[in-house]
Amino acid sequence: MNDFVFQSPTRFVFGRDFADRVGEEVAALGAQHALLVYGGGSVVRTGLLDRVEASLDSADVTYAELAGVRPNPELGLVRKGIDLARVEKVDLVLAVGGGSVIDCSKAIAFGVPYQGDVWDFFSCKASVRECLPIACVLTIPAAGSEASASCVISNDALSLKRGTSSDAFRPRLAIMDPRLTFTLPQYQTAAGVTDIICHICERFFSSAGAVPVTDNIACGIIRAVMDAATAVTEKPDDYDARATIMWSGTLAHNDLCGCGRAAAAGKRAGGWESHGLEHEISAHHPEVAHGAGLAVILPAWMRYVWHADPTRFLAFAKGVFDVEPMDKTDEGTQDAVTYAIDELQRFFVGLGMPRALADLGLSPTDVDAWLGTLRQNKGERFGELMPLTMDDARAIYLSAF
């Protein structure tokens, strides 16, 4: 087991109707005047926004509002939010929504105390040291941003989608009521579940070898979330299944599943190859949901690299699908690994996710543009289990059409 630092400082308030408690919870963090950030309208339609506002009112926490965060949030609104937060002199940023709203809120929270342009943090010109406190009411389990040290923002002018990382902006508070997710369209539930599984896989397929405690946690969460996803497909208001998915999303990305698997203490485990490849797709095509892109890219990446570490893939096959090779031959290994990858893809497709990039309206002629920005973001080679050249990346993209 490699050395690690694990820090998950978020206060999780998890369960029925806890959104109505957000006022007292943020007041306990010292908030008096918050910036309330939300997305394209789901929180208005579901009545959640009214509940949050009523709760803030009753706790005497005043607020300014920033609406309209789109999926794959864009830099322009972040800059607008920073200006508003400064004028209003807010002392906390409260995100009500999913990963996009939380990431927009994070970027505002660390953009406010910074003198330069917030994009500096995404172009490696600055690292986050100061940040307003962040709280969230989560409405979709997916990105894991409610507890993660990551923030991902798109810059449409440059066709770039980039992340920055720091423990400084892990949210202080996450209010998580699984009932808020009953209204999710199946497609969003499925995209979220895919992202959750991928966050675990990115860490599982690091080059650290076996770390039994972490690997068992990882495979156990994947199995639990797969069962729960199947249950909510049939019954969208299955509370326990929704709760399982919601808590899994947090544990998938708060780094619990990476303990002992990172190359160095304080680093994130894994090479994040599928995320690297997918982010170029949703950067160039913001209408593509991150999880939907991953549903295609993750199996394609697995098929391309598994032979670099068959033992690791056999551990995945056994831990998630209880499959072992029929015999110790190369063929036996290939059959077991291929079965596991095929099963994973069948599961994603069964939830309503695309099987191929063409199903997302994408074309092989788009690949050159993705490779151009991938090279800008990652250099000539990236990844860990099997470092990928740009030729490898091209081959994986093309194999996914």
How far apart CA 48 and CA 134 sit, in angstroms, is 19
Sequence-ordered alpha helix ranges (H) in 59-171: 75-88, 99-111
Residue 42 near ligand NZQ by CB under 6 A: yes
* Nearest distance, CB of residue 224 and ligand NZQ, angstroms: 19
Beta strands in 156-198 (DSSP E): 160-165, 173-176
Residue 274 near ligand NZQ by CB under 6 A: no
Residue 71 near ligand NZQ by CB under 6 A: yes
Q: Binds 100, which of Zn ion, ligand NZQ, none (CB < 5 to 8 A, cut-off by type)?
A: ligand NZQ
> Quick one: which of 77, 70, 78, 72 has its CA closest to 39?
70
How many residues are there in the chain?
401
Is the Cβ of residue 22 or residue 147 nearer to Zn ion in the bound state? 147
List strands edge to edge, sheet with 92-97: 11-14, 173-176, 134-138, 92-97, 33-38, 62-66
Instruction: Work out which of 82, 93, 95, 103 binds ligand NZQ, going by CB under 6 A.
Output: 103
Q: Which of residues 193-232 bind ligand NZQ (CB under 6 A)?
A: 195
How far apart CA 299 and CA 344 sit, in angstroms, is 7
In angstroms, the Cα distances linking 53 to 37, 43, 103, 298 are 12, 11, 21, 39
Residue 258 near ligand NZQ by CB under 6 A: no
Residue 177 near Zn ion by CB under 5 A: no
Residue 150 near ligand NZQ by CB under 6 A: yes
Q: What are phi and psi of 381, to 5 degrees?
A: -140, 145
Is the Cβ of residue 51 or residue 170 nearer to Zn ion in the bound state? 170
Q: Which two tokens stand for residue 291?
A: 């999880």
**How many CA atoms, within 13 angstroms, populate the side-chain half-sphere of residue 302?**
26
Size of the site for ligand NZQ (CB under 6 A): 35
* Nearest distance, CB of residue 90 and ligand NZQ, angstroms: 21
Sequence-ordered alpha helix ranges (H) in 324-378: 330-351, 367-378
Within 10 angstroms of residue 235's Cβ, the number of other Cβ atoms is 10
Instruction: Work out which of 74, 103, 146, 195 binds Zn ion, going by CB under 5 A.
Output: 195
- Which of these ranges, 180-188, 323-331, 363-371, 386-394, lies near ligand NZQ under the rule CB under 6 A? 180-188
* Nearest distance, CB of residue 162 and ligand NZQ, angstroms: 10
Query: How far is C-alpha 364 from the chain's CA centre?
Result: 26
Residue 98 near ligand NZQ by CB under 6 A: yes
- Which of these ranges, 35-43, 152-160, 195-203, 384-392, lies near Zn ion under the rule CB under 5 A? 195-203
Residues found near ligand NZQ in the complex (CB under 6 A): 39-43, 71-73, 97-101, 103, 139-140, 142-145, 148, 150-152, 180-181, 183-184, 188, 192, 195, 253, 275, 290-291
